[in-house]
Each structure stands twice: as C-alpha cells, then as structure tokens.
Amino acid sequence: MAENGTDCDQRRIGMIKEQHNGNFTDSPLLSERKRRDREERLNIVLWKQPLVTLQYFFLETLINFKEWTIKLWHRRSILVSLLLTLAVLTATYYIEGTHQQYVRYMEKKFFWCAYWVGLGILSSVGLGTGLHTFLLYLGPHIASVTLAAYECNSVNFPEPPYPDQIICPDEGTTEGSISLWAIISKVRLEACMWGAGTAIGELPPYFMARAARLSGAEPDDEEYQEFEEMLEHAETAQDFASRAKLAVQNLVQKVGFFGILACASIPNPLFDLAGITCGHFLVPFWTFFGATLIGKAVIKMHIQKLFVIITFSKHIVEQMVSLIGAIPSVGPSLQKPFQEYLEAQRIKLHHRADSGVPQGENWLSWMFEKLVIVMVCYFILSIINSMAQSYAKRLQQKMYSEEKTK
C-alpha cells in the first residue's frame, strides 16, 4: 500500500513539473541554467556584493510587509478582536486595585516564558541558519543554576534578583542536601518554554509542503525540491545521507504519531525533513504538532537538561578542573583561569551586587560574551543575506515567466 502511494506521488511530481516547466523539464540546458542561477544567488552576500545585498534585502522586506498587511486586512475581524483584548488587558494593567499583585506576577511570568519561547523559535526556524540559543543561553543558564544550587545547597534563590542574578538565600541548609530533582524542577519552566519554541519553529516546512501538495504547484523552496527529487530516486539512493533521509521519511510516513515523536525526541538534524514529509503526505496538523511538541518540549528537553546538570554538578566540575591541571607543561596555566572563575562565582553567590564587593571580570566570561555577540551578529547577517537571495529568486522566476509567455 505504501509502495503504491509512493509510486503515485512520483508520477504526480513528474506531471506537476512538466506542467510547471513546460516541455524542457528534463533538458540539460534548463538544469544548467538553474544551477547557474543558484550559484548567482549564493554570491549575493554582504561581504561580496554589499550594496546589491542591502538593496535586495530592503526590497524583500517591503514585499513581505505588503503581503502581511494584505493578510491582516483579509483577517481584520481576528485583528479587531485581538486589539480589543489588548485594550482590556492594558486597562487592567494601569487601573489601581488589589489585583495589581496578580498582574505583576503574570507580567513577570509572561515575559519570562515569551523570552525563552522566542529563543527556541530563533534556534529552530533559522531563516537559513539557526541561532544556537541552547548553547548560548539556555545551557549556560542551567549550568549557572546547577553550580549555584551545589554552592548554596538550595534552589530557593531570592526573587528578585533571580533570575537576573543568582545569590544564595540567607537561611542555612545542610551540606549535601541538594538533589538532582530539585535542580530539574527549578529550570523546568524555561527549558520547556524553549522546547515549545523549537517545536513552533518546525511549522514553516510543514505548512509549505502541505500547501504545495494541496495546490499542486511547485513551491519556492529548495529543500522541498530536494525532497521531491529524493522521492523520485528513492530506489537508486546509495550514499549514507540519502539513506538516512529516506529512513526518516519512511519512519514518519509509516509509523505516524510515534514516528514523529521518535524523531523529535532525540537531537536530529534531519527533523526539517520530517516536517516536509508530514506536510507532503497531509498528516493532520495536531498529529504533527502534538508529537513535535511532546518530543521537543518534554522528552528531548529533559534529556538535554539532565546532561547539562550532570556535567556541571560540583564533583564533575572539580574533576574536570583537576584533569586540566594534569595536562603536561600547559596544565597549570590553563587550570588557573578556570579556578579563578569558579572562585569569583562562589564569592558572587554569597554577596549581593550592592554589598560593596568588587566584581572582577574573568577572561573566560569575557570571551563567552564576545562569542555571543559574534554569533548574534552572524545570525543577523545570515537573515539579511537570506532575504536578499529570496528577492533575487523572485527576479529569476519573473524572468522565467516572461520567457514562457513569449
């Protein structure tokens, strides 16, 4: 049954491409031209063609703004409802009363959750390259909470300043009373919100492939075109990458909900293909998104969280610092900055920011801050380049359309 479905899909793909491209679909000339156009688009980057890239970026931004404005106008009833809801919430926020303590609490939780959901979306959706927000934000946050929990023997950090700053509570606790479950519970909300954000970021490939299947048109997306070519050459695939992609596609197509759940629950660079597969084979939205949300926000997130907590537990960190010092010749010089950093963190945990204790800066923290800045700048540059290349593809497709009408 699945084989017949795949054969039908392959015949449908061929028919669509013939209708879309005319009689020259399989001609080497057209393939060569598409290859040259792709190479030309890839050269539109800020460090090669800065003026052209910026011009195309602004034009693509204006087109996207126009398209979104039209979509909002067509859904103006929903927009009006949202504006009315926002007006009610704004009035509730500014009117004085006994409800203000709950308003402040909800405001704090909302922005805290929105912050981590946004970072999760940035990590997943990518726009050409994902910002690795787990390595840059969530991972260091979990590591900081873990180190503080073992130093303070408690996770009841004073709020405020937590989560902006972690300091030990005033009440004393028994040495060794902190548990792994207590640390997991402390960072569960932000970790699950980040995982939910990554699940939301997986929706664009799904919607793109689903819309293409329902409309019968060939979408403006190279990953989807690669997926269709993979279906066409499924029987002759020999390399490991193609077989891995086919394995993901078959797992999702045949197993359904639990196949998607399995792909989403482990670190899987091919999960974008799972989203395209689900959209292409018209898997129901809640089946796809439900399995993705459970896999990423619950199962995968707890696996990653446990790994970070165990890695940064007190005895593991002390052993790693000792092993660094055991490296011949350079060991002691490498060990010293790590020891200074850990000691500075311990001092900071036991003193408030306004207590007059000098706050020194370690070169490790300085390097990490600069790394974050570099990664964010690269992500912004990649967005500019990607949008400029999208506008270049619009121009190339317009040229194709004009040639076909002649």
Grade residue 104 by pLDDT with cuts at 50, 70 and 90. confident
Calculate the average pLDDT of the chain: 77
Greater confidence (18 vs 348) lies with 348
Does 24 score more than 50 pLDDT?
Answer: no
Q: Which residue has the tokens 């699940």?
A: 199
Closest to 296 measured CA to CA, from 167, 124, 108: 124
What is the pLDDT, as a whole number, of residue 140? 87
Model confidence pLDDT, tens digit, residues 142-174: 988 998 888 888 888 887 778 777 888 876 555
What is the pLDDT, as a whole number, of residue 371? 78
Cβ proximity of 219 and 213 under 8 Å = no
Greater confidence (226 vs 90) lies with 90
Q: Which residue has the tokens 């490939």?
A: 205
Grade residue 51 by pLDDT with cuts at 50, 70 and 90. very high
Greater confidence (233 vs 28) lies with 28
Give the integer Cα–Cα distance in Å for 10 and 17.
11
| Cβ count within 10 A of residue 33 | 14
Give the integer Cα–Cα distance in Å for 20 and 38.
18
pTM of this prediction? 0.72
Closest to 257 measured CA to CA, from 247, 265, 268: 265
Model confidence pLDDT, tens digit, residues 360-406: 556 666 777 787 788 778 878 888 888 888 888 888 888 877 777 76
DSSP count for the chain of H helices, then E strands: 19, 0
> Which range, of 7-21, 259-273, 285-299, 320-334, averages the lowest pLDDT?
7-21
Most confident by average pLDDT, 101-105, 113-117, 126-130: 113-117
What is the pLDDT, as a whole number, of residue 189? 92
What is the pLDDT, as a whole number, of residue 230? 57
Grade residue 245 by pLDDT with cuts at 50, 70 and 90. low
Query: How many residues are present in the chain?
Result: 406
Give the integer Cα–Cα distance in Å for 396 and 350.
62
What is the pLDDT, as a whole number, of residue 172? 55
Mean pLDDT of 256-263: 83
Give the integer Cα–Cα distance in Å for 366 and 357.
19
Give the integer Cα–Cα distance in Å for 312 and 257.
34
Cβ proximity of 389 and 44 under 8 Å = yes
Phi, psi of 236 (to 5 degrees): -105, 5
Q: How far apart are the first and last CA of the chain?
A: 44
What is the pLDDT, as a whole number, of residue 34? 76
Q: Which residue has the tokens 């015949």?
A: 11
Model confidence pLDDT, tens digit, residues 177-234: 788 888 999 999 999 999 999 899 888 878 877 877 776 655 555 555 655 565 555 5
Does 281 score more than 90 pLDDT?
Answer: no
Does 52 score more than 50 pLDDT?
Answer: yes
Closest to 239 measured CA to CA, from 247, 328, 16: 247
Cβ proximity of 94 and 107 under 8 Å = no
Does 4 score more than 50 pLDDT?
Answer: no
- Alpha-helical segments (H) within 22-157: 28-42, 50-74, 76-94, 100-125, 133, 139-152
Closest to 187 measured CA to CA, from 138, 220, 118, 252: 138
Assigned token pair, 13? 């793909």
